[in-house]
Structure 1
Amino acid sequence: MTRYQPTEFSVTVCAADARALRVAVRGDLDYDSGDDFALTMFDMLREHAEEHGPTLRDLHLDWAELNAFDSSGLSVLLGVRRRAHAAGISLHLHHQPEFLARMLHVTGVADYLTQRARPGAEPESASASSAIGDSGGEAAPVS
C-alpha cells in the first residue's frame, strides 16, 4: 500500500528591491496550504510596500520546487494576481513544472496570470499599499 506523504510547503523571498520581488515556492500548493500561501504573499507585498512605498512592479514566482498544485492552489494564485494587478504589479511565473503549465493552459488562465499590469489601471487600486494591505487577517508562518 502506498501512503501519501505531504511535502513541506514553504515560500521564500530570494531577492527584493524597490521594483521587483523574487519568491520561491516549494512543496504542495493545494487545499491544505492555499490559505497560508495567500496570507504569506499578501503580507510580503504589504511589508514591501511599507518599506519601499508603492514602487513594486514585478512579482517573480519561481515554481522549480513545486511538487503538486490543485484547483485550490489555482484559486489562491488567481487571488494573488488580482491583488497584485490592483496595485500595478505584474506576475511572472518561472520554472513551471509540466503539471502546473498544463493546468494553467487547460483552464485558460496562463495569459491572464502573466498579463502586464498597468499602475492605477484597475478601479479598486487607490494605492499600492491599500490594495495589498488588507489581507483579511494575520498570516500563519509558512515554513
Structure 2
Amino acid sequence: MTHLPPSEFTLAFRHEPATLTVLIGGELDYDTSDDLLDEVSRRLTAGRPSPADVRLDFRELASIDSSGLTALLMIHRRTSALGATLHLDNRPAHLERLLHLTAVLDHLTAPPTGTEVHQAEEDDGPTGADVI
C-alpha cells in the first residue's frame, strides 16, 4: 500500500466588488480548519463593504474531515450574520458525499434570513491572526 504525504493546505483570495472568493486546496482538517475560519472571518470584516456573496472554491481540495465541516458551518453562520450568501463551488466527490451524508448542503447554501445577524457575532468572539 502506498502512503502519500499530506497535501499542503492553501488558501487564495479574490475580492470583487460584491463577492469574496476563497480557493481552498489541500487537506481541510483539524490542523487547518481554524486557519480557514479565521482568515475568512477577518476578510469578511476587513473594513470594506461586506460582500453579498462568499464563494468557497474546492477544486483543489484533497480531503475534509469533521473539523473542516464544522469550519464550513461557522463560515455559513458568519456570512449569514452579514447578510451574504455562501456558495460551495467545484465540490469534489468526497465533499459532495460528506455534505449529503450530514444533510447540511441545503443549510450551507440557503440565502441568509437575517435572524442570525447579532447572535453569530456574540457567540463567536474575536477572530484570529492573518494566516494563509
Amino acid corresponding to residue 84 of structure 2 in structure 1: I
Distance 1:123-1:97 versus aligned 2 partners, 3 A rule: closer
**Number of residues of Structure 1 aligned to a counterpart in Structure 2:** 131
The answer to whether the Cα contact below 8 Å between 1:42 and 1:135 also exists between their aligned partners in 2 is no
CA RMSD of superposed structures (Å): 2.2
2:80 corresponds to which residue? Answer: 85
How far apart are the structure 2 equivalents of 1:21 and 1:90? 11
How far apart are the structure 2 equivalents of 1:141 and 1:29? 14
2:12 corresponds to which residue? Answer: 12
1:138 corresponds to which residue? Answer: 128
Q: Which runs of 5+ in 2 are unaligned?
A: none
Q: Which runs of 5+ in 1 are unaligned?
A: none
Distance 1:95-1:117 versus aligned 2 partners, 3 A rule: same
State TM-score, norm by structure 1.
0.81
Percent identity, aligned pairs only, is 35
1:122 corresponds to which residue? Answer: 115
Distance 1:122-1:92 versus aligned 2 partners, 3 A rule: same
State TM-score, norm by structure 2.
0.88
1:51 and 2:44 equivalent?
no
The answer to whether the Cα contact below 8 Å between 2:25 and 2:61 also exists between their aligned partners in 1 is yes
In the TM superposition, what whole-angstrom CA distance separates every residue of 1:53-79 from its partner, at most 9, and x where no partner exists?
Answer: x4x211011100000011110011101
How far apart are the structure 2 equivalents of 1:138 and 1:71? 20
